[in-house]
Amino acid sequence: MTTFIRMPEKSHSEIPGERIAKVIARAGLASRREAEAWIAAGRVSVNDVVISSPALNVTPSDRIAVDGTPLRARERTRLFLYHKPRGLVTTHSDPEGRDTIFRALPKGLPRLISVGRLDINTEGLLLLTNDGGLARVLELPSTAWLRRYRVRALGRVHQDALDRLHGGVTIDGMHYGPIEATLDREQGANVWLTFGIREGKNREVRKVVESLGLRVNRLIRTAFGPFELGDLDDGKVREIETAELQRTLGDQIIAEANADFDAPLADAPEVRPAKKPAFRKQETGPKHRSHEPDRRKRHGEQKHPGHRRRDRSGGPRPKHPRSR
């Protein structure tokens, strides 16, 4: 018979320790919300007793287990920069069976969670960490870190309309705070914009751009607070060194997140290049190709009828510069 623990008859402030969901999240197993769901499902035990409510404080002397597996010792707080490709969803498992970022990550990394999300068609910088407490703090609106995006959109817009976003805007009853927006250039029927937001509400940039009469066809996050995408290649990961991470976060965020930079590393694997996601087709053919120009190129034919080469100009490190 499963035994459930009885709640203590004390207020939270009088009970030593930390909330159980917070401890699980900080161990990098799940977010607080996910940990609370695990508890409600009877998957978590404390001192060999299954608990049913997250309203429980635990101390380092308590034995915590998830699905019968003891909670591992706390690891050092770590943060990784990831260049998310388009076509991946930011989740550990997707009910629709779509490819996820966590399946595409290099092998040998610790169990990571994302700091916020990027939708399936958005590419660029995504922060990953093994510390749920740090992820929560960096996501908070009160932290107010600037998220910067490059946007390519179909249509025309003037800088005056973008300047009016500085005071915020309300769309379909949802208010978005001050937005920094700049018209960078026009390119054919498209415009390239730079957007800076601090709230990071769901699909905020897309909705604001569409409210201007534009249609987004490429969205790239280039910075999240002090962390920048830089020259990080598509699908690759880079870890921020501990000393640099401490300096960048600052004492206030470290204290609020209860980050631990003195704990040992469970392992220190080398971050290998990420494999291309399964949905991307690999090029095939002989390793040694003839120097003779391709017949289709000689005769000005396209490889496929109606095929248009993807326009990557204007974004970070275009792989196929446009010919002049």
Instruction: Verify that 62 and 177 share a domain, yes or no.
Output: no
Tens-digit pLDDT profile for residues 156-165: 999 999 999 9
Q: What is the pTM of this model?
A: 0.70
Q: Is 19 in the same domain as 147?
A: no
Does 19 share its domain with 114?
A: no
Q: What is the pLDDT of residues 261-287, one digit of tens each?
A: 988 886 544 444 333 333 333 343 444
The DSSP-derived string for 88-113 is: -BSSS--TT---BHHHHSPTTPPP-E
Q: Give domain status of residue 323, yes or no.
A: no
pLDDT tens digits for range 69-102: 888 777 899 999 999 999 999 988 888 889 999 9
pLDDT digits (tens, 9 = 90+) for 181-240: 999 999 999 999 999 999 888 899 999 999 999 999 999 999 999 999 999 999 999 999
- Please check whether residues 213 and 245 belong to one and the same domain: yes
Q: Which residue is catalytic, options 119, 233, 234, 311?
A: 119
Indicate if the pLDDT at residue 290 is higher than 50: no
C-alpha dist (Å) from residue 246 to 95, 143, 313: 37, 16, 36
Q: Are residues 121 and 182 in the same domain?
A: yes
Q: What is the mean pLDDT of the chain?
A: 81
99 is catalytic: no
> Is 197 within the bounds of a domain?
yes
pLDDT score at 217: 96
Single-letter amino acid, residue 37? A
Say which residue, 92 or 293, is predicted with more confidence.
92
CA–CA gap between residue 34 and residue 136 (Å, rounded): 13
CB distance 100 to 91 below 8 Å? yes
Residues 149 and 21 in one domain: no
**Structural domain of 202:** 79-257
pLDDT of residue 26: 73
On the question of pLDDT at 5 being above 90, the answer is no
Same domain, 127 and 197: yes
The answer to whether 148 and 222 have CB atoms below 8 angstroms apart is: yes
Domain membership of residue 62 (yes or no) is yes
Identify the domain boundary among 238, 257, 276: 257
DSSP assigned state of 22: H
Does the pLDDT at position 301 exceed 60? no
CATH of the domain at 221: 3.30.2350.10
